[in-house]
Amino acid sequence: MRIHHHEHFFLTMRQAKREDPTQLNFTIPVEFPPPAQYLLKVVSERWMGATEIVPMAFEHLIPPQSAPPYTDMLPLIPLPVQALNNPEFCKIYKFTHFNPMQTQVFHTMYYTDSNALIGAPTGSGKTIAAEFAALRVFGQGEGQKVIYIAPLKALVKERLEDWQRRFEGKLGKKSC
C-alpha cells in the first residue's frame, strides 16, 4: 500500500453539526491504466477508532487528453521584422529577421491574448518573444501597462535600461 497524499484537516464541532457536507479537494497521481480503485482512509488523531475507509472506483474515469510536454521546433522560414506591421515597432530592432524560436511563437504572442509558457535556453530570444506581447499591448492605445517580472534584480535593471533606450527613445513608451 502506497500513500499518495496526506494532509491535516481540522473539522470543527460547528462543521460536524452542519447538515451540509464538508468538502475537501485534493489531487493525487493516477497511473494509466488506472487501478480498479483507490482507498481513501480518513483517520482521527484525537478519537481512537474514528477511522473511515472510502473506496474510490475508477471504472468511469475519463483521463485528460495527453499532450506532448513541449512543441517541437517547426522548420519555418524566419519572419522579417516587418511582420510586426508597424514601422515604429520595426525601428526598435537592429536585426532584419526573427530567429526560429521567435518566428514560431510570433503569432500567439503578437496577435492573441492566449497564455504562453516559453521554455528555451539562455540566449535563445525569449525576451524578444515577450516583447511581442508588450508591443501588442502598446498597439492597443494609451493607458495600457505591461509588467515584467524576473528572478534577479540585475536582470530587471538590464531590461529596464534597454527598454528605456528602445521603448522610450523610439516609441515614446515610458519604462519604469
DSSP label of 96: S
Which DSSP category does 97 fall into? B
* Mean pLDDT, rounded, for 103-128: 93
Mean pLDDT to the nearest integer, 72-99: 95
User: How many residues make up the chain in this entry?
Assistant: 176
The helix/strand/coil state of 37 is: strand
Give mean pLDDT, residues 28-51. Answer: 80
DSSP for 124-169? SSHHHHHHHHHHHHHTT-TT-------SSHHHHHHHHHHHIIIIII
Residue 3 has pLDDT above 80, yes or no: no
On whether the CB atoms of residues 133 and 110 are closer than 8 A, the answer is yes
CB 57 within 8 A of CB 63: no
Of the candidates 111, 104, 60, the one whose C-alpha atom is nearest the C-alpha of residue 85 is 111
pTM greater than the 0.75 cutoff: no
Q: Stretch 5-11: mean pLDDT, rounded?
A: 78
What's the pLDDT tens digit per position in 142-176?
888 889 888 899 999 999 999 999 998 888 888 88
pLDDT surpassing 80 at residue 130: yes
C-alpha cell at 152: 534577479
Give me the helices (H) in the chain, please: 13-17, 87-90, 100-111, 126-138, 153-163
* Cα–Cα dist 156/153, whole Å: 5
171 C-beta neighbours (distance < 10 Å), count: 17
* Per-residue cell: 84: 510586426
